[in-house]
Amino acid sequence: MQKLLPILFTLLLIQPATAQEIITVEEQPIVTPFILQVVLDITVDYSVRNLKVTYSTTDAFGQPDTASGLLCIPLEESLVFPTAVYNHGTVAERTAVPSTVTTQERFLPQALAANGFITCAPDYIGLGESDGIHPYVHAATEASAGRDMLIAVKKWLEQEGIRENGQVFLTGYSQGGHATAALHRDISTNPGDDGLEVTAASHLSGPYSISGVMRGTLFSDQEATLPGYIAYTYIGYNYVYQLYDDLGQAFVEPYLSSIRTFAAEQISLGDFNVMLDSMLIANEDNITAIFQDSVLQVLEERDESNPIVQALIDNDTYDWAPPEPTLIYYCTADEQVPFRNAILADSVKRANGSTTVELETGGPLDHGGCLRPAYLRTIEFFESLANIYPTSLGEVNVRQPIQVYPNPVAAGTSVRLEGPDVTQRPFILYDNAGREMLRGQTSASGDILLPNGLPRGLSVVRLGLPDGSSAVKRLIVK
């Protein structure tokens, strides 16, 4: 019986926690491939080790906070994997997050891990173990929660001797699409000393245009959006930006009482949405009826001098130009997040100079129906760019007829290997003392891009071969 129970432990760090450090680690049940294959109807390669982690970060006001998330690790020690971040969609209550064992959405980061990505799934600020109210679709904290978890996890992996290859992939659906766009923008446009560089990202069915498309749903009879989510947005922004002295300055009765109850976390988002929707139907009102006329006027006119509109603009996540491969995926019958968000995000990114954006549609599917094709496309997209290679390259076979040119070669340029089985093969580059300087996989042409700063002189390239052996060649860096 004991073997059926999850093995739980907490690993406490002795040092006081600073920002971007793992605080606790709790083992959760391992997921085997057949479970994911049955639940998600997809093919996967690896079992997945699952850990609930807490880590140090900051809240919406820059104050120290402890956040939580799920860490999913492919159970295959012979390979070195990339890392990824999966950002979850809107949840009905504080505990319905990836780090909770009973949450269904955790199957998605687990599926990513089962296909070869060490995956972080942050619970977000104000959810899970984090204090305070969750600032819904708040770009800054979505970005900081993901970035800080990724940094903390990378440190922990190194401490545990679990290798990762330096690649970083980002994805998320619905609110998670908004969070992914925020995190992607933050890492790409605000490089720090954390060494993070995005390899690729997929933004899936997200509300990227808060101040434009999503604001406009208030005044359109054609857009059917969950009313509780709309109220949640303005409650969250009031929490962060202090827009009103009291919620009564934004909302009116008979809806205000229910909104106060939800804002005090006395009912879940799911119950709040049902309650608000039922009241609107009973009163034959549309969503605008919950707001004060003064607020509606500001929103309808999009008065950019008003703090409310400024808060919306502050949380738009589409107006930038990603340099990395970026997939924007949407479906045309989405009743929760209008697909114009994706069309606008794609067009603005291209107008800003990005040449790496791919816009794809899953066709006339609703919000729930769009999830599976969007996620399968993401896995395919990431796998095409992932550099997964063995931890060991096998015994040396000196008889392999492989040539290297140019040789000598300058750092910062490419060197090409020629011979049988040299394309898309794992390699290690050593200096003349046998110290590892670079590890990766050769290109489809057999090329290796050498980084700037390699020491001059003799180096050795070791190439893994399909039969389990390896070949070595001398290389002179000039």
Q: What is the pLDDT of residue 421?
A: 84
Nearest CA among 78, 73, 79, 67 for reference residue 23: 67
Residue 99 within a domain: yes
Q: Are residues 375 and 410 in the same domain?
A: no
Q: Are residues 379 and 246 in the same domain?
A: no
For residue 51, what is the enclosing H or E element?
Answer: strand 48-58
Q: Are residues 76 and 165 in the same domain?
A: yes
Nearest CA among 218, 206, 207, 178 for reference residue 301: 218
Residue 368 within a domain: yes
Contact yes or no for 263/247 (Cβ under 8 A): yes
Q: How many whole angstroms separate alpha carbon 329 and alpha carbon 383?
A: 17
Q: How many whole angstroms separate alpha carbon 338 and alpha carbon 76?
A: 40
Cα within 13 Å of Cα(168), Cβ side: 20
Contact yes or no for 247/256 (Cβ under 8 A): yes
Residue length, the chain? 478
Q: Are residues 280 and 334 in the same domain?
A: no
Q: How many whole angstroms separate alpha carbon 306 and alpha carbon 273?
A: 27
Spans in the chain with pLDDT lower than 70: 1-18, 222-225, 397-399, 433
Q: Are residues 309 and 325 in the same domain?
A: no
Q: How many whole angstroms separate alpha carbon 355 and alpha carbon 370?
A: 25
Q: How many whole angstroms separate alpha carbon 210 and alpha carbon 350?
A: 19
Q: Are residues 470 and 458 in the same domain?
A: yes
Q: What is the pLDDT of residue 18?
A: 58
Residue 153 within a domain: yes
Nearest CA among 73, 25, 29 for reference residue 52: 25
Q: What is the pLDDT of residue 387?
A: 83
Q: Are residues 400 and 279 in the same domain?
A: no
Q: Are residues 366 and 399 in the same domain?
A: no
For residue 376, what is the enclosing H or E element?
Answer: helix 367-383
Dump the DSSP string for 83-126. EEEEE----SSTT-STTSTT-GGGHHHHHHHHTT-EEEEE--TT
Q: What CA–CA distances, in Å, run from 42 to 53, 203, 375, 378?
A: 27, 21, 11, 13
Digit-coded pLDDT (tens) for 88-129: 999 999 999 999 999 999 999 999 999 999 999 999 999 999
Q: Are residues 307 and 323 in the same domain?
A: no
Q: What is the pLDDT of residue 226?
A: 85
Residue in this structure with the two tokens 């002189």, named with its chain if needed: 457
Q: Which two tokens stand for residue 146?
A: 């993901």
Residue 55 within a domain: yes
Of 383, 401, 429, the domain-final residue? 383
Q: How many helices (H) and strands (E) does the chain have?
A: 12, 17
Nearest CA among 290, 297, 298, 293 for reference residue 256: 290
Q: Are residues 181 and 295 in the same domain?
A: no
Nearest CA among 269, 263, 231, 266 for reference residue 250: 231
Contact yes or no for 183/87 (Cβ under 8 A): yes
Q: Are residues 118 and 263 in the same domain?
A: no
Contact yes or no for 290/233 (Cβ under 8 A): no
Of 365, 383, 401, the domain-final residue? 383
Residue 215 within a domain: no
Q: How many whole angstroms separate alpha carbon 294 and alpha carbon 309?
A: 13
| Structural domain count of the chain | 3
Paired strand residues for 22 = 55
With the CA atoms of 168, 332, 319 and 302 taken in that order, what torsion angle do they form, in degrees rounded to the nearest 10? Answer: -140
Residue 45 within a domain: yes
Residue 217 within a domain: no
Q: For residue 276, what are the domain limits?
A: 225-314
Of 363, 383, 403, the domain-final residue? 383
Q: Are residues 196 and 341 in the same domain?
A: yes
Q: Which two tokens stand for residue 73?
A: 């690790």
CATH assignment at residue 420? 2.60.40.1930
Residue 214 within a domain: no
CATH assignment at residue 352? 3.40.50.1820
Radius of gyration of the chain (CA): 25
